[in-house]
Chains A and B, each alone.
Chain A
Amino acid sequence: MSESTPTTAETRRLAEESRDRVRFEEEALELSDQVYRVARRLVGSREEAEDLMQDAYARAFRSWRQYQPGTNLRAWLLRILTNLNIDHGRRRQRAPEMLPMEEGDYFLYNRLEAAVPEENPAEERVIERLSQDSVVDALADVPHDFRDVVVLVDIGDFSYADAAQILDIPVGTVMSRLHRGRRILKRNLAEKAVPT
């Protein structure tokens, strides 16, 4: 057996690396609930979300050295996940997207208020017209490019800058997609709550 014994420095380096890796993996796993919450709304089904999570975590664990400690790990994980989502299924789903009609920001409120039987109702009575299921469906009906941004900012609670980095698009694009995406979401919600 001619296997050389590793030097002390080498042993120490390996031990340090293994410790860093374990810490990375533990931190990434701790964030998995939060990552899943976003992932679940980026795709149409629970199965897709589970597959995407596993692919993303497998890749994250393989390329953990590329993560810079001290930066936003949740954003780093979601960047991997959204890239995989776009690489995989997304192309298949990209039918020529008809952009839904857009209404102003007060559109949803006005429509819901008109459906409340009382005169000049309080806003709590107005929001009661919405059901939780309708939110999930209305969100799923927002075209992908807009939905990604709405999900990251409004559900994932990411800043515009983080969303821009995750999706690799300029901040200005995040802002315009968010603006339009929210309006499309509201229009979908209005249609579901108060069908025309």
Chain B
Amino acid sequence: MDLCDQCEELMQPYVDGVLSDAEVRMAKEHLDRCTWCAKRYRFEVELRHFVRVAAAEPMPPELKAKLAALRTPLH
């Protein structure tokens, strides 16, 4: 397995911030040196953001009123 393959494997947990310190060091060292992987890393970060924004659909205002109407009436 070459370093770029290893980097690809570590990419998602790296973006999630769940790698061990040693793994983070390994990924960082590689990303500093490899523009090919660094580009893909920046793309992954942007993609996460893009998906989040694209998937966001605001709640219809009338639904909020319907939910509020489900509250227990005050005596």
Binding site for B on A (CB under 8 A): 18, 21-22, 25, 29, 32-33, 36-37, 40-41, 46, 50, 53-54, 57-58, 61, 104-106, 108-109, 122-124, 126-127, 130, 132-133, 135-136, 139, 151, 153-155, 160, 178-179, 182, 185-186
Given contacts A57-B70, A58-B70, A106-B40, contact A50 B55 (CB under 8 A): no
Q: CB distance B48 to A154 under 8 Å?
A: yes
User: In the complex, A29 Cα to B59 Cα: how many Å?
Assistant: 12
Q: CB distance B52 to A154 under 8 Å?
A: yes
Given contacts A32-B63, A105-B9, A105-B12, 17 further A-B contacts (CB under 8 A): A18-B74, A29-B64, A29-B68, A36-B59, A36-B63, A37-B57, A50-B66, A53-B63, A53-B67, A54-B70, A61-B71, A106-B11, A122-B39, A127-B47, A151-B55, A155-B55, A178-B12
- Tell me which of B42, B44, B68, B74 contacts A105 (CB under 8 A): B44
How many residues from B make CB contacts under 8 Å with A? 35
Q: CB distance B52 to A160 under 8 Å?
A: no
Task: Tell me what chain A mostly uses at the interface: helix, strand, loop, or mixed.
Answer: helix
The residue of chain A having its C-beta at the shortest distance from the C-beta of B57 within the complex is A40
**How many A-B pairs with Cβ below 8 Å?**
102
